[in-house]
Structure 1
């Protein structure tokens, strides 16, 4: 009888002690959850930006040649991934040579107001598959279609027009030794544009820019050199 009474007393004491510790445990859990929620709130903007923007640069192989490409410079959504590709199309602001900002929506009523001078240099990188190198084309193919006359500017830039009826009719060839050769359309209802090519291992780089920029052709040639180095420099 004494044993049973002692057991009942111990059970009541134990139950009372457990209930006494329950309140501090609950309060501690609430405080821990609040602290975790506060830390998560502070860190959440950083996580969101990183997951939305993705990597700043992508390793892309064109013609088995590796390029380190800024993600924001890629013009076509289908090309926005790392790994081997047959071709990629890029654009950079000039003269900063930075990826452009996201395009803004322009309504039909704002088209005329939106027509601004081109401030970008466009670049296409494509596998050449052992086709004729750009510098060889300039030396051996283009001269067959050029007029004999040429114009030499004061800053060392030579201009020769292509013959009418040739495959390059309506264009002019601008060259300067050693670092510039550009085939340019003439100014008309649309601005004249220039095309300059160079080969890097298994890929050909084709730069496009406004003809009007040739008034500062040394800066343009330097910009193409710098872009080539940024995309395919020593790593």
Structure 2
């Protein structure tokens, strides 16, 4: 047996490491390990992740599109304005009156409607309104004896000229005498007696309030319906469709009565 000699070179003379040095070495090894880039994913796993991301993106886009279309297709409920004309109670959608939601002006005992022709829906208003569209301006008011059809015809008859000519739509046309209150207008009446329709329109180029450049509805007709006087201002171009116009306005009014 060989005896240990402290000066023997065959024996490792390095003193044992201290615990702190061992911990530092271990930490350095961990840091070196973490700095290395991760190994690339297998090709199949990368393709799977890309497909999953694409599916999630398409799902998000589809959800957003559905929400947008659903919000766009749901119309806003129009503001309803209650009204009373004589003994008749009405509920009038504000979009038929042409007023803005913050408009505080109200016609006491009267209702005004602005209707698109021929749809009879809400008419476009303001400077952005399409000039190619036509509209009806309808005023509902309490009954007045002067607006009774028979009374109107008897008043007009005193100032009519004897000349009569026909007009499309089954109407006949009469002129008014010079110097009469209706000079510059023509009277369009239904046959045989004008009880169904009697409207006044200005002559082409007539200088009157109804022929102002900013007024596109120069013709006017007044009749009685459901206990109210109904006055319609309308373009001359649609006078041949008077039966459709009166029928549509009557149905619109019927839908407002409560």
Q: 1:157 aligns with which of 148, 163, 171?
A: 171
Q: Is the 1:158–1:174 contact (alpha carbons within 8 Å) kept by the matching residues of 2? A: yes
Q: CA deviation at 1:115?
A: 7.6
**Residues of 1 paired with 2:217 and 2:179: CA distance?**
19
Matched with 1:204 is 229
Q: How many residues align?
A: 174
**What is the aligned partner in structure 1 of residue 141 from structure 2?**
126
Q: Displacement, 1:153?
A: 3.0
Work out whether 1:116 is the aligned partner of 2:131: yes
Aligned equivalents of 1:100, 1:186: Cα separation in 2:
26
Specify every segment of 5 or more residues in structure 1 that has no aligned partner in the other structure, as ranges: 1-41, 107-113
Residue 230 (str. 1) matches residue 255 (str. 2)? yes
- Summarize the Cα distance change of 1:64–1:78 in structure 2 as closer, same or farther, 3 Å threshold: farther
TM (normalized to structure 1)?
0.61
For 2:201, the equivalent position in structure 1 comes to 184
Whole-Å Cα distance in 2 between the matches of residues 224 and 78 of structure 1?
Answer: 26
The residue that corresponds to 1:146 in the other structure is 160
Cα displacement string for residues 190-232 of structure 1 (whole angstroms, at most 9, x for unaligned residues)? 4672111112355311111011111333332333333333334
Shift of 1:91: 0.2
Contact 1:185 1:194 in 2 (8 A): yes
Question: By percentage of residues, which structure has more helix?
Answer: 1
Q: CA deviation at 1:79?
A: 4.6
Q: Aligned match of 1:167 in 181, 189, 195?
A: 181
Distance 1:61 1:226, change over 3 A: same
Q: Distance in 2 between matches of 1:115 and 1:95?
A: 14
Answer yes or no: is the 8 Å Cα contact 2:78–2:95 preserved in 1. no
Of 58, 73, 81, the match for 1:58:
81
Partner of 2:6: none
**Structure 2 counterpart of 1:96:** 119
TM-score (norm 2): 0.56
Larger radius of gyration: 2
Q: CA deviation at 1:143?
A: 0.5
Contact kept, 8 Å, 2:190 with 2:197, in 1: the verdict is yes
Greater CA drift, 217-226 or 207-216:
217-226
1:170 to 1:202, Cα distance in 2 relative to 1, 3 A: same
Secondary structure at 1:72 match in 2: helix
- RMSD between aligned residues: 3.2
